[in-house]
Amino acid sequence: MTINQKTSEWTLFACISIGAIIGAFILGYTVAEMLTNTNTINKTQNTPSTNSLNAFLHKQTETPQTKPFQELSDFNLHGSHFARTLALHEILIQADTKSLQQYWDEVSNFESEQFRQQIQESILQRWIMLNPLAALAAVTAEENNTKRTNLMKIVFQEWSFMDLNALLQYAEDVDLVTKEIVASSILQARVDLSPNELRLYTRFLDNEWLVFEYIDGLVVQPEIEWKKFLNDYRDQLDQLSENQFKVLQHLAHSWVIHSGVAAFQKMRDTLPPTFSLYETTVGVSYKLLDTAPNLAIDLVVDRIQREQDRAYNALAVELINEWSKVDSVGAFNHTKGIDARSLRQKLQNWAIINWSRIDPVTLMQEIENLPLRLQTFAHMRVLSEFFYKSPHQALPMLYDITPGSTTHREVAKSLAGGWIQQDLESALEWIKTDQSIDNFRDEVMVSALQDLAETNSRLALQTALQLPLVERKPGMESNVVKWVAYRGYLDEAISLLPQVRSGITRSHAYDSVIQRLLEQDDTDRALNLFFELSKIESEALQQPLATLARKSPNLLYDALEQIEDVVVQAEAARLLYYHNKKDGRFAETELEHLYKLIQSQPKSRMNRAFDRMHEIMKENR
C-alpha cells in the first residue's frame, strides 16, 4: 500500500468520526431539552407548594416583615408539614437575637397551643446557639408555672448539648428549684453520657438522687457506696440537705434489695447512735411497697423489734393499709408470719377492713378459715360494709343484732354513714328517733357527719349547725372540723372555723386544727390561730392553751408577750409553770418570770379550772 492510499483512508476515517460526534451532540442536546421541558411541566403540575414556598422565602428575605409567622401559621400556603418546617428553619437561620425576641413576642399570642409550642421550641433552639441567657430570660417571663417549667427544660436540654460546662457553671448559683430542673434536663437530654458521668454532674448540682429515679439498678455494690457516702458527709450527717438525704435513702433501698432486711442493721452499725433511721425507713419502705410489699413490711417489723420509737408501729399500719387496698389477701396472709401478737392482730384487723371493702364475698367464704378472734371481727366488717352500701335493705337486719353489742354499734354507725349520703333528711330523722341506738346516739351522729364530710365537708358543717347545742358539750360542727383536719385537709378545716358556734364549740374546733398544725411543725399558723381565737373568746381557751403548753411549750413561752389579754397570759404562764418546773426545760430565770406572770392576776374561774385540770393530769400519768 502506498503512502497516498493510507493518507486518504485516514482522512475518510476522521471525517466519519467528526460526523458521529456532531450527531451525538445534537441528539443529546435535543433529548436534554425535551427532558427539561418535561420536568418543568411535571413540577408545575405536581408541586405547586414549592413555588409558594420559594415565593414566601423570597418575600421574607427581600421585604422586611414585622410578623413573619402570621403567614406561616396558614397551613394552606405550604401544603405539607415538611414545607412549613423548612420555611420556619429558613426564617430562623437568618435571625439574630433581636429578631428572635420579636418572633417570640409574636408567637406568644397564637391561639393554637400545638403550633405555638412547635414554633417556640424552634425559636429557642436557634436562640440558645446565639445567646442562651437571653433565651432563658424570655421563658422565665412566662406567667404559667407549668409552661415556664417546660420551656426552661427545652432551654437547658439544648444548652447541655451545646456547652454542658457553661450550663453547669450557670446553674451553680441558681435557686434549688431551678437546679433540679437543670439536673433533670441533663438526664433527659444527655443519654450519651455514662451513669457515672451523670451522677458526677447531678451531684455537682446537689441533685444526684434524680439519677436513681431515671436509671434502674444503678448501684451494683450498695454497701461500698453507703460507706463512701458516710465518709464524704461524716461531719454533716445531722445537717444533710433534703436532696443529700434522698441519695442516702436510695442507697439504703439498693442495699435492702441486694441483701434483704439484715442490711438495715449493718447501716445502723455504721451510723452515730444519735442518727435516727426512721425517716430512711419510711422512704425505703414506701419505695418497696410498689415492687416488694412483703419486704417493706418485714423491714418495718424488724425496726419495731430493734428500735424504741413508737412511730415504727404507726408506719407498719400505714403500709399494711396501703398494701391491703391493692391486695387484701396477700397482705393478710403475710401478717401471719409476724411473731409479735399485738402487732400481728392490729395489722390483720386493717387487712380485713380493706378486704371487706374490696371483696366482701370472698372474705365471707374465708371466714371459717380465720382464727376465732378474727372470725367475729370479719363478720362485723362484712356486715358494716353491707349496712353502709345498702342501708335501706340492711335496716331490718339491725334489729336482729344484740342491742348495745360492739357489732350493733359498728353496723349502726355504718348504716347511718351510708344512709346520710343517700338521703340526708331521712337519715337524720332515723338517727334522732331510733330507740335501738339510745345509748350511743351521739356516737352514731358523729360518725355519720364524718362520713358526709369525706365527700362534702361544707354540707356536713351546715347539717351539724342545725343540730341543737347540749349544755357543757361542744356542738357537732366541732367534730366535723376535727375530722377534716385529721384527714389532713387543713386549709379546708381552717376555712370552716368562722362558721362554728361560739364558746366551747369554737374552742374545740380551733384546738383540733392547732393540734394538727403542730404535728406538722406548722407552728406559725398554729400560733396565729390561737391569737385569732383569743380575740373572739375570752374564757373558752382552756383546751388550745393546754395543747400549746403540752406540745410546744417553748413556742408558747416565746409568744407570751404577744398575748394581749393579761388574764389569758397569766393562764398560759400557769400551765407552762406547772408542766415544766421540774423537768429542766426552762432555766430558773424563766421559771421566775412565769411565776411573776401568774401572780400578776388574781385567781379567775379559768385559773381554778386549770388547777383542777393539772391535778387530773398528774393522777392519770
Give the DSSP letter of residue 439.
Answer: G
Tell how far CA 160 is from the center of its chain. Answer: 28
Check: CB of residue 316 under 8 Å from CB of residue 334. no
What is the DSSP code (8-state) at residue 64? -
| Calpha distance 280→261 (Å, rounded) | 13
pLDDT for 27 equals: 43
Rounded-to-integer distance, Cα 243 and Cα 247, Å? 7
**Can you give the pLDDT at residue 511?**
95
Cα 45 versus chain centre, distance? 58
Q: Is the pLDDT of residue 48 over 50?
A: no
- Answer whether 94's CB lies under 8 Å from 121's CB: no
Q: Residue 42, Cβ neighbours under 10 Å: how many?
A: 10
pLDDT one-digit tens code per residue, 169-203: 999 999 999 999 999 999 999 999 999 999 999 99
Each residue's pLDDT tens digit, 525-579 = 999 999 999 888 877 788 899 999 989 999 999 999 898 888 888 888 998 988 8
**Residue 602: per-residue pLDDT:** 64
Are 288 and 299 a contacting pair, CB within 8 Å? yes
Per-residue pLDDT, 10: 43
Phi, psi of 468 (to 5 degrees): -70, 150
Please state at what angle helix 328-335 crosses helix 341-358, rounded to 10 degrees.
170
Please report the pLDDT score of residue 335 as a whole number: 96
Q: In the predicted model, is pLDDT for residue 355 greater than 50?
A: yes
Backbone angles phi, psi at 553, to 5 degrees: -60, -40
E strands, 356-468, are none
- Domain segments of the chain: what residues? 219-358, 553-621
81-95, 286-300, 492-506: segment of lowest average pLDDT: 81-95
Q: Give the residue with greater pLDDT, 41 vs 588.
A: 588
pLDDT beyond 50 at 25: no
pLDDT of residue 440: 94
- Region 114-136: mean pLDDT is 87
The yes-or-no verdict on residue 19 having pLDDT over 90 is no
Distance of CA 212 to the CA centre of its chain: 18
Q: What is the pLDDT of residues 391-425, one digit of tens each?
A: 988 899 889 888 888 889 999 999 999 999 999 99
The overall pTM is greater than 0.75: no
Residue type, 86: L
What pLDDT score was predicted for residue 32? 45
Quote the cell numbers at residue 81.
Answer: 408539614
The answer to whether 345 touches 373, Cβ cutoff 8 Å, is: yes
Helix (H) or strand (E) holding 443: helix 441-455
Q: How far is CA 6 from CA 1, 10, 20, 128, 340, in A?
A: 7, 6, 21, 78, 123
pLDDT of residue 521: 85
